[in-house]
Amino acid sequence: MCYGEGSKVIRKITHIGVAVKDLNEAIKFYEENLGLEIGGIEEVEEQKVKVAFIPLGESRIELLQSTDPNGPIAKFIEKRGEGIHHIALEVERLKETLQRLKEGGVQLVDEKPRSGAHGMKIAFLHPRSTKGVLIELCEKHE
């Protein structure tokens, strides 16, 4: 166990990332069929993605389209098809959280925080350590 009893590290689900081939088609589906509104579109060059945000209460759905045929989202879609790519959880003190997880034997994709959408610091936990789910940890930019 990485944390002491009663310690709350995860604050909330920030978003669910959905890998899509065509961002415009995906946006059209969510708007026309589900009545949801896009809150914005952002390109994150470091991650080679274009992201459309759909706010839902305190969380969002993020539609992710690769901007590079060799990018991680393109590779994911090639291997698994379109669909849920990751679940993102908000944490405080991301750097320290990663260190504790590593010390607890969790396999990290990112050992150090990096830049993500909305100016957040992010890091991923490897699905081998999380029972098959890619988990993104996010820390709000203060």
Q: What CA–CA distance (Å, rounded) separates 77 from 86?
A: 13
In a domain? residue 4: no
CATH number at residue 118: 3.10.180.10
From the number of C-beta atoms within 10 Å of its C-beta (0-12, 13-18, 19+), residue 45 rates as exposed
In a domain? residue 128: yes
pTM: 0.86
Q: To 10 degrees, the CA torsion angle through 88, 93, 99, 100?
A: -80
CA 3 to each of CA 8, 97, 114: distance values in angstroms, whole numbers, following the listed order: 8, 9, 23
Which domain covers residue 133, as residue numbers?
10-139
In a domain? residue 5: no
95-118 tens-digit pLDDT: 999 999 999 999 999 999 998 887
Structural domain total, the chain: 1
In a domain? residue 1: no
pLDDT at 16: 97
